[in-house]
Structures are given as structure tokens and as C-alpha cells.
Amino acid sequence: MIKKILLLLTIPLLLCSCTKDNQNVIEFASWGSVTETGILKTVIKDFENENPDIKINFIHIPQNYFQKIHLMFASNTPPDVIFLNNLYLPVYADHLEDLQGYADIKDFYPQTLEGMSYKGKLLGIPRDVSNLVFYVNTDKISLPNKNWSITTLLKDCEILVGKIDFCVSYENTLYWVLPYLRYFGGGILDKNLNSVIDSDESLRAINFYKNLKGKYHYAPEKSQVGSSTLAQMFLDEKIAFYLSGRWMYPKISETAKFNWAVINFPYGISSQPCDVSGWAISKESKNKAAAIKFVQYMASDKVSKYFTETGLIVPARKDTAKLLNNNRHNEKVFLEVIEKSENTHVSKDYNKLTDRLNKVIDL
């Protein structure tokens, strides 16, 4: 079965290998929505027009991305350029080029450079930074002050009883609990990569989170969400506080029929977590000079603006981030939270750890 999968992955690469004479071929892999892949294809075309000696073969992997990337590495056919996030960066660290010196570090938020680094090496040039924020239906409840607290959230939920189906969204995996964990001073791993999920602070956070649904009934049960999604429930005005990332901004902007704005997750004892995505290069690339040129282009202000203007990302570049510094839906919050956040603490086994914890922790 594995051989068949590897063959299926390899065939498209072979079919795409024919190019004009003297062209360097770069295999580039990424996930992405229809909108995001549309931008990528436009950017790739622009790059090829500016660099006729380089051909980019775009490998779009919309599902099971990291499983397929893993198979590519296992079969010694990794893409030259790989779009990665900090949660998986340690897994592939030994197979990635050190890109220190290929990006002007003053152009990027420090958190984004740290997120794409491992053991002192910059293994990816950052594209974006992700924080979880609350989308708030301001027709139902006033937008909290940025210095609000968990206590404020509970008070607002109490005010909303009888005015809306549910106060706040609720997911059953630790990714969505991490802001609560950090608020109370807990987490999954600490800075030294020791487990702290069973600390008093973490247990307090988990109990608080569970009480939002089980005790107070401020959040929906899974059965109450049914075939819908929490995003759709927010758009249908059934939830007032919807916890999500920047990626939901375009859909909410286009669809919401009510007034809304974003606000930071309450700041607590520890800094809020942030995640970073960026462009990495395989050590096994046979066209490293061309790959570096492509990655530098993808990390440029010009390309960063392409992505930022769609509303899909919070850019890792400080110059591009100015596009978000406005009061439209309180959009500047996406930038403000960067200054009060730190990268999620991850190890090589982080994803296996969270998968295991999600099975044993009853949320």
C-alpha cells in the first residue's frame, strides 16, 4: 500500500519535469483554500515572468498535508520549497536548510523569526502569524475593552442569557483550549518543553473551560451544533463570542448581516500563544540557488501584500502589517496581540502528544 501511495505522489512530479532548455525546476508544496491557491498561482506566474530561467511546479496538497510531506521525505523526493508552520518545523528540522542571512530580520516581527527557528537556526522565512481572537456580535453585546478578563466574559454571558442561543463557541480539542490554559498560567509544554498539562494552573483552566458548557450552559453541546459549524452559528447569530483566527475574517466580512468586531482573547498570567507559517527549503534540493531566490520573492513585501489584502493572514512583515492598522471591525487588534504573545512551545513529538491528550482529556 505504501509503495502505491509513494508512486501516486511521484507520478505528478515526473509528469511535470519537462521544461524548456536551461530552466531550473523548483518543486513547491503548499496547502491552501481556493482563494489562497489562486493567489499562489498568480504569484508563481509573476515570479516566472521575472525569472524565465526558473520553472515552478506547484504541488497543492489540500488534505492530509503533513502525512504526504512525510511520505515525500521518506521516499527521498521532498519538494525543493515547502510551506510549513512552527508546529511541525521541529519534525523536519534535520532536513531543512539554514536560511540565516537570506532575510533582513528587521523586516519581521521577532516572534515570527523565533517561530521559524529551531536550535539556533532559521529554517524558514516567515509569511504570517496566527493568533486566536474573539469575533463579537456587537448588535448583541458591547465590544469589551482590550483589558477585559475572563470574569468580564462570564458577566457578558450572563447578560446574554435569553437574548441569544449561546454566548461563546466551544471546541473539543486542546488547540482551542490553549488560550485559556495560558490565561491561567498553564499550558501543554513550558519553555523547557516539559509537560505542564497536569499542573494546577492547567487543570484550573480546563475546569473553567468545561464549565462554560457543562455548568453554565453558555456554550453549545456537540449535538446542538449538529451538522452546522460554530462559524455558521456565529453568522446565524446563535453565538455572540466566536473564537477563531484571521483566516475567518474574509468569510465573516462577506457574509455577516450584523455589526461585529474582533477583540483579543483576555490577557492573563502568561502571554497568549501564537503560531507562524513560512517558506522552507529542503537540504536535498538540487536547485538551492533558484529555491532561495523563489523563497526570498515569496517573503517579499510585494507578495505579502497579495495575501494580506485578501484578509486571510496577519503578515509576518512589519511593513505590510500597516495595512491592518485601522479601526475597521477593530482590525488593528490582530497586530496588537502580536506584541503580547509568544510562540507555542513545541517539540518534535508535540503533535503526537496533543493527539494523545485529546483522546484522554474529557473536554
pTM: 0.90
Q: Edge to edge, what strands does the sheet with 166-168 contain?
A: 166-168, 239-244, 133-137, 260-264
Read off the pLDDT band of 178 (50, 70, 90). Answer: very high
Percent of the chain with pLDDT over 90: 89
Residue 218: HSE in the Cβ half-sphere, 13 Å Cα cutoff = 21
Output the nine-digit C-alpha cell for 156. 457578558
Output the nine-digit C-alpha cell for 189. 509544554
Q: Where in the chain is the domain with CATH 3.40.190.10?
A: 2-128+276-325, 133-264
Q: How far apart are CA 362 and CA 47, in angstroms?
A: 48
Question: In 10 A of CB 3, how many CB atoms?
Answer: 8
pLDDT(7) > 60: no
Looking at residue 362, its pLDDT comes to 87
pLDDT tens by residue, 15-52? 344 445 568 999 999 999 888 999 999 999 999 999 99
Angle between helices 301-309 and 34-50 (to 10 degrees): 160
The whole-angstrom distance between residue 111's C-alpha and the CA centroid of its chain comes to: 14
pLDDT tens by residue, 303-354? 999 999 988 999 999 999 999 988 889 999 999 999 999 999 999 999 999 9
Q: H helices within the chain, ranges in order?
A: 2-15, 34-50, 65-74, 89-92, 110-115, 150-160, 174-183, 200-214, 222-225, 230-235, 249-255, 288-298, 301-309, 318-321, 333-339, 350-360
Read off the pLDDT band of 8 (50, 70, 90). Answer: very low
pLDDT(3) > 50: no
Q: How far apart are CA 302 and CA 307, in angstroms?
A: 9
The whole-angstrom distance between residue 94's C-alpha and the CA centroid of its chain comes to: 22
Q: Which of 146, 143, 140 is nearest to 240 (CA)?
A: 140
Looking at residue 342, its pLDDT comes to 93
pLDDT(279) > 60: yes
pLDDT tens by residue, 192-221? 999 999 999 999 999 999 999 999 999 999
Q: Which neighbouring-strand residues pair with 25?
A: 55
Q: What are the backbone dihedrals phi and psi of residue 275, each rounded to the nearest 5 degrees, phi first? A: -120, 155
Residue 329: HSE in the Cβ half-sphere, 13 Å Cα cutoff = 21
Q: What is the CA radius of gyration of the chain?
A: 21
Mean pLDDT estimate for the chain: 92
Q: How far is CA 24 from CA 17, 77, 80, 153, 285, in A?
A: 10, 16, 11, 55, 11
Q: How far is CA 16 from CA 9, 27, 42, 55, in A?
A: 12, 9, 18, 10
Side chain identity at residue 138, one-letter code:
T
Collect all residues with Cβ–Cβ distance below 8 Å to 119 and sequence separation of at least 6.
93
Collect all residues with Cβ–Cβ distance below 8 Å to 209 and sequence separation of at least 6.
170, 177, 180, 363
Domain 2-128+276-325 = CATH 3.40.190.10: yes
Mean pLDDT, rounded, for 100-107: 94
Q: What CATH code would you report for 133-264?
A: 3.40.190.10
Output the nine-digit C-alpha cell for 249. 475574517
pLDDT tens by residue, 123-149? 999 999 999 999 999 999 999 999 999
pLDDT tens by residue, 313-322? 999 999 999 9
